[in-house]
Amino acid sequence: MTANREIAADQLVNRQGAQVLLSAILAFLRRNRIPDDLITDFIRTQFNQRKKKGSVRRYRNQVSNYEEMGIIMSTWHSLPRFLDESGRPRPLSLKRGRSSVASLVRYSRVRIPWDLAVDLMRRSPSVATDKLGNFMALKRAFVLPGFEIPRAALVIERYLDTLGRNSSTRRNKTLLLLEKNCWVPEVDLTTIAPVLRDIKDRGSALIHSIDGEIERRRLRRPKNKGVGEMGLLIFSWTRPRNARSRTRQM
């Protein structure tokens, strides 16, 4: 009886967890003005095996371009040929030459065409232009306005894949992927600004160091077998706590 109760309790927790996950996703989609009929039609299609899943090729291409722009920005901030005497990114021109966008794209070893990279730079607050029309790097991280939903899809998809891999890893006793979380239940939100700045600075430093490490391992001529992608995601979060007291069940 005890074992059956534990199984039933686990099933209840899983069902409630699924409700929280779906609620969070639906709330996020609605905040970003995704129509309800698109959501319901997709759910109905997913549970109808006779219908084929919709194509997400354009999404995959856009996300690939977005990530490759991140590589371009990282190269701009780290490769000596694109840095000035103070170690800051040099302005880049649209003309061909050593200090040009075309040269940066080529040395970044990405697949995105340089003219598309120019278009994305124009749309990003991470890049500005001077009076001569040269591009100037304002931030190392590439940001694209209105790209919240594709970014969320990318993060959630990869995080869920990590959870699945770690679950199978425990059974196979192989290397676990990074999946850590630190949390405190009660903190004064009006006093945490210095802590958040410290988290941002240290997290950014870690990302930059790892970025350089994995970049050195990038294959120049990818093989057909044994090739994949790897990456690291860090984010911090805060959330006001409800005034109502909580009851906790284990």
Residue 218 lies in a domain: no
> Does 122 share its domain with 93?
yes
Q: At what angle do helices 114-123 and 101-108 cross, to 10 degrees?
A: 110
Residue 134: is its pLDDT beyond 60? yes
The amino acid at residue 155 is V
> Does 128 share its domain with 70?
yes
Q: What is the pLDDT of residues 211-240, one digit of tens each?
A: 878 877 877 776 667 778 888 888 888 888
Residue 122 lies in a domain: yes
Confidence bin at 116 (pLDDT 50/70/90): very high
10, 35, 54 — which closes off a domain? Answer: 54
> Does 132 share its domain with 70?
yes
137, 158, 177 — which closes off a domain? Answer: 137
Residue 32 lies in a domain: yes
Spatial distance between the Cα atoms of 105 and 193, rounded to a whole number of angstroms: 37
Q: Phi and psi dihedrals of 176, rounded to 5?
A: -80, 145
Residue 113: is its pLDDT beyond 90? yes
Residue 120 lies in a domain: yes
Residue 169 lies in a domain: no
Range of the domain at 29: 1-54
Of 142-146, 202-206, 241-245, give the lowest mean pLDDT range.
241-245
Counting beta carbons within 10 angstroms of the beta carbon of residue 104, is it exposed (0 to 12), middle (13 to 18) or buried (19 or more)?
Answer: buried
pLDDT for the residue numbered 246: 43
Q: Which residue has the tokens 């802590």?
A: 195
Task: Write the DSSP string, 164-228.
Answer: HHHHHHHHHT-PPPP------S---GGG-HHHHHHHHHHHHHHHHHHHHHHHHT--SS--SSS--
pLDDT for the residue numbered 242: 67
> Does 129 share its domain with 98?
yes
> Does 74 share its domain with 49?
no
How far the first Cα of the chain sits from its last, in Å, is 18
> Does 93 share its domain with 132?
yes
173: left (phi over 0), alpha (psi -120 to 50) or beta: left
> Does 45 share its domain with 110?
no
> Does 128 share its domain with 69?
yes
Residue 173 lies in a domain: no
Contact (CB, 8 A) for 83 and 90: yes
Q: How many domains in the chain?
A: 2
pLDDT for the residue numbered 243: 46
Residue 249: is its pLDDT beyond 70? no
Residue 192: is its pLDDT beyond 50? yes
Spatial distance between the Cα atoms of 223 and 190, rounded to a whole number of angstroms: 52
Residue 65: is its pLDDT beyond 70? yes
- Which runs of consecutive H residues, i.e. helices, occur in the chain? 2-31, 36-46, 57-78, 101-108, 114-123, 148-172, 193-216
CA angle 24, 152, 231 (to 5 degrees): 130
Contact (CB, 8 A) for 76 and 82: yes
Residue 237 lies in a domain: no
Of 90-104, 143-157, 203-217, give the lowest mean pLDDT range.
203-217
pLDDT for the residue numbered 236: 86
pLDDT for the residue numbered 111: 92
> Does 70 share its domain with 39?
no
Between residues 79 and 213, which one has the greater pLDDT?
A: 79
pLDDT for the residue numbered 82: 96
Q: What is the pLDDT of residues 19-58, one digit of tens each?
A: 888 898 999 999 999 999 999 988 888 776 655 556 788 8
> Does 47 share its domain with 102?
no
Spatial distance between the Cα atoms of 250 and 245, rounded to a whole number of angstroms: 17
CA angle 230, 234, 238 (to 5 degrees): 155
Spatial distance between the Cα atoms of 165 and 176, rounded to a whole number of angstroms: 8
> Does 50 share its domain with 61?
no
> Does 91 share its domain with 48?
no
Residue 3 lies in a domain: yes
